[in-house]
Amino acid sequence: MKYPIGIQDFESIIKDDYVYVDKTELIYRLVTEGKIYFLSRPRRFGKSLLVSTLEAYFKGRKDLFKGLAIDKLETEWAEYPVFHIDFNGSNFTKPNVLEEVIEKFLADQEYIYGKNPNSRDTGSRFKDILQAAHQKTGKRAVVLIDEYDKPLLDVLDTGISTTIDGENRLLEDHHRNILKGFYSVFKSADANLQFVLLTGVTKFSQVSVFSGFNQPKDISMDPRYEALCGITEEELYQYFPAPIERLAVQYKCSVPQMKERLKKEYDGYHFSDVLTDIYNPFSVLNVFDSNRINDYWFKTGTPTYLIRLLNHTQENLNELTGKYYDPSEFIDYKADVEMPLPMIYQSGYLTIKDYNMDMNTYLLDFPNNEVKKGFVTMVANDYLKSKNLAGGWARDLVDALKSADLERFRKLLTSFLADIPYTMRRKETERERERYFHYTFYLLMRMVSCYTVYTEKQQSEGRVDCIVETSDYIYIFEFKLDGTTDEALAQIEEKGYARPYGSDKRKLFKVGTVFSSETGTISDWKVIES
């Protein structure tokens, strides 16, 4: 079995006999039930392959679809003029790159369909091209735009500027205006359009693609198209039984155990209230190709724009994750409202975990271990500015917990905290200091949770600071800032944090820990076994 890693061309996948998870039944529904669409999905989720498949379909390439679901559905296989615009391959942090990409596209099409000498701006030139294509072929045009938002994401919140007509402007604003003019063509060109699809990571509500022309149908959260990109659990078991068995042999476990491990590492994405399980296709294909479980997706790119947004807005992950939101709070990114949540969700670092039908709200949290480990570690390293890489430290911490070596755990935690620069923990008020230490421990234990079980349990008498569970041990932590260990342990007893584990056969440890706002690390520590 050949895996199309890094291959986004539908024709190459079919002709070169790579495995193809058949999405053509959904594609047929898409092209026959609507006209203008927008689809948001995280990077490396198959958007480019979807666009390539649509291009082959609208060019009438029946030969490529033999044996696929659409082969039994489509009878005409008409050929349309297709305009495929791909913003993937360019670096838009440099001035004039966007203009050059659009100019080349327009010039190439004008060479084929002719140029109207009266057309000057990009919007009118594109409109005239679409009209000419319709007149020349007798078929209305198909427009496929891949990663429409990359010119904006590349420069988002960077402060990079350029000079336009002698005036200094933010490149982000300049790109926004260029795209506004380019996409405005769709409003007046409706009679010449057969089908339009725009894909991207983020839905920018203030780009005229969503306001300057006939509104595209946003299918990003449409249950009918939830599985248009990515691999469902059903597809995983249907197409890849042999690779799963091979992995089970490699890791000396049963097939059901391997399926559960794959689910924890790469599943967990949901794109509608139906909550269909979607696996990250890039990670899964890499796992099967290498026969190794690893963090593939996160390593392909660093979401620097998210870090910039988090730093800029001073919002913490613990204040964003594990909460229910109205769809309006995470569907559209608004440039003038500095909220990182829509970007984090649409980029794939958070996903839908539950749906409250009565309130029409969605629970957002990390999709799986791969994403949680990578993103939290990156945020922790950026937030804490420690000299030690947090990921390696977290694995050492887990080893200490799995062996009940709490003295080693204490030393690891103390040394890591002591390594954080004073400037990072210097806060003006007691509330800010408490918020800093709370968030610091949240990030550290979230990293630990990628390797073992971590809970923030809301109990009847209060919220436990932290409970860590391994196969053999249970740890209940209570932290105090500039307090005493006796106060921390007393709270564990008074609130009854250990009562839910009364019948549990695992050994339980109650740990009272004191953070010092002066030293920035642990000043006292006391453990009680029970």
Q: Using DSSP, state whether 162 is helix, strand or coil.
A: strand
Q: DSSP labels for 312-353?
A: HHT--GGGTSSEEE-GGGTS-B-TTS--SHHHHHHTTSSEEE
Tokens of 351: 């996903």
> Rounded to 10 degrees, what is the CA torsion of 493, 496, 497, 499?
120
Give me the tens of pLDDT residue by residue for the chain, a chain 530 residues long: 899 998 999 999 999 999 999 999 999 999 999 999 999 999 899 999 999 999 999 999 999 999 999 999 999 999 999 999 999 888 999 999 999 999 999 999 999 999 988 877 888 899 999 999 999 999 999 999 999 989 988 888 788 998 888 889 999 889 988 988 888 888 788 899 999 999 998 887 655 555 555 578 899 999 999 999 999 999 999 999 999 999 999 999 999 999 999 999 999 999 999 999 999 999 999 999 999 999 998 777 666 677 777 776 667 787 788 889 999 888 877 655 467 888 889 889 999 999 999 999 999 999 999 998 888 888 887 777 766 656 677 788 889 999 999 999 999 888 888 877 766 666 667 777 777 887 888 788 788 777 676 666 554 445 677 888 888 999 999 888 889 999 999 999 998 899 889 899 999 999 999 988 888 889 999 999 98
CA distance 14 to 2: 11
Q: What is the DSSP letter of 292?
A: -
Question: What's the pLDDT score for residue 337?
Answer: 47
At the topology level of CATH, where does 10-225 sit? Rossmann fold (3.40.50)
Say if residues 376 and 317 touch (Cβ distance below 8 Å): yes
Read off the amino acid at residue 205.
Answer: S
Helix axes 369-384, 304-313, angle to 10 degrees: 50
Q: Using DSSP, state whether 307 is helix, strand or coil.
A: helix
> Rounded to 10 degrees, what is the CA torsion of 216, 221, 226, 232?
150
Question: What radius of gyration do the chain's Cα atoms show?
Answer: 26
Does the predicted TM-score (pTM) go above 0.95? Answer: no
Tokens of 316: 């913490």
CA distance 87 to 47: 12
* Length of the chain as a residue count: 530
* Backbone φ and ψ of 105, nearest 5°: -60, -50
Say if residues 8 and 199 touch (Cβ distance below 8 Å): no
Question: What's the pLDDT score for residue 47?
Answer: 96
* Backbone φ and ψ of 277, nearest 5°: -70, 125
Per-domain boundaries in the chain: 10-225, 231-299, 302-365, 385-529
Question: What's the pLDDT score for residue 469?
Answer: 87
* DSSP bridge pairs for 254: none
CATH code linked to domain 385-529: 3.40.1350
Tokens of 272: 């509608």
Among the listed residues 370, 398, 374, 376, the one whose alpha carbon sits nearest the alpha carbon of residue 293: 370
CA distance 182 to 66: 37
